[in-house]
Amino acid sequence: MAKKTSTDDPLAPVTLAVGQEDLLIDRAVAQVVAAARAADPDTDVRELAPDALQPGTLAELVSPSLFAERKVVVVRAAQDLSADTVKDVKAYLDAPAEEITLVLVHAGGAKGKGLLDAARKVGAREVACPKMTKPADRLAFVRTEFRTAGRSATPEACQSLVDAIGSDLRELASACAQLAADVDGTIDEAVVARYYTGRAEATGFEVADLAVTGRTAEALERLRWALAVGQPLPGITFALASGVRAIGKLATAPRGARPGDLARELGMPPWKIDRVRQQMRGWSGDGVAAALRAVAEADAAVKGASADPAYALEKAVVTIARAARSRR
C-alpha cells in the first residue's frame, strides 16, 4: 500500500519513510535492509532514536570502515532531531557516502519539515506510510495484500475481513497472509466467515448492518456480544455513524445514476452502493436525522459524557432500527 516516489531502488543513498503507520514504516525499513543484505550479507544495520543521534554522531556512522562494509543507518522520528543534528544530516544529504544507505523515518507533519524538504530536494527515495484512518483505506490495503500475494479475493470477502478485524493494520495483514496460505482458489465471504465468524459477529459493523435494516432484537443481541468480548466503544459508534451516513448520502444522490458513477461521487465501492440501496428502503429524511442525533449522543456518551455508555449505545441502536422503519 505504501506509495513510492522518486527512485524505486531501495539501495538509493537516502530513503524517506514518511507517515505514522507503524506497519508500513517497518516494511519500508525492512525492504531497505533486505536489499542491502542481498547485496552484502555482512551489512551493518544501525537504528537510532533522535536522542541517540547527537551532533557529530552521523559523521562517525558514515565514515569509511577498514573493511569497506555496507551500512544501513535508520533514524527514527527524524522530525524530533535537534537543530544542530539536523544541520549535520542536511550536510550529509548534499554528499552521501558510498555503500551507505540512510533511512529517515519522519512523521510528515510541520515539525521538522525543513529536513523533509531538504531530503526531497536532493531526490531522496520516498515511501509514504500514512495512517489509515478511513475504512476505505483499510479496504484498499486488504485488496493490495491479496494482490501482492497473488491471490484473488471477492470485494465482499475483503469487506468482511475489514469488518471482522477492525482497524489494526498488522492484524489485517496477518489475516490476509493466513487466508492466502490456507485457502485454495478464490477467497470469498464464506471463507472469511469460516475463519473469523466469531469476531465478525462481534463488530460494530455487524451491529450497524442489523440496525439500519430495522432488526432491533438481532442488533441488540450483537451489540451486547460486542460489548462482552471487549470491542472498543468508539469503534461501535463509528460503525453506526458510517451506516447511517451511507444511507443519507445515497438518499440525496441523483436518481437514475449508474452504480459506478455513484461510487466515484460518494466514495463507496459499487457493490456497497447496491447493499445500501437495499438497506435504505424503509428510511425517511426525518429518520436519518433522528438516527444521526442518536449516534452523536452515543458518541458523546462513550467519550465520557455518560456514566453508562453501554445503555447509550443500546438506545442509539433502538433509535436507528426504528428510523429504518419510518416509511413502512
Q: What is the pLDDT of residues 150-196, one digit of tens each?
A: 999 999 999 988 877 777 788 889 889 989 998 999 999 889 888 77
Q: Judge whether 83 and 55 are in contact, CB under 8 Å.
A: no
Count CB atoms within 10 A of the CB of residue 250. Answer: 19
Higher pLDDT, 5 or 159: 159
Amino acid at residue number 267: G
Q: How confident is the model at residue 275 (pLDDT cuts 50, 70, 90)?
A: confident
Q: CA 36 to CA 68: how far, in whole Å?
A: 14
* pLDDT of 37 strictly over 50: yes
Mean local confidence (pLDDT), 300-313: 88
- Chain position carrying cell 544529504: 93
What pLDDT sits at residue 278? 82
Please say whether the dihedral angle defined by the alpha carbons of residues 87, 88, 89 and 95, taken in this order, is positive or negative.
positive
What pLDDT sits at residue 4? 43
Buried b (16+ CB within 10 A) or exposed e, 12-23: bbbbbbbbbbeb
Mean local confidence (pLDDT), 256-265: 67
Q: How confident is the model at residue 197 (pLDDT cuts 50, 70, 90)?
A: low
Q: How confident is the model at residue 109 (pLDDT cuts 50, 70, 90)?
A: confident
* pTM of model > 0.75: no
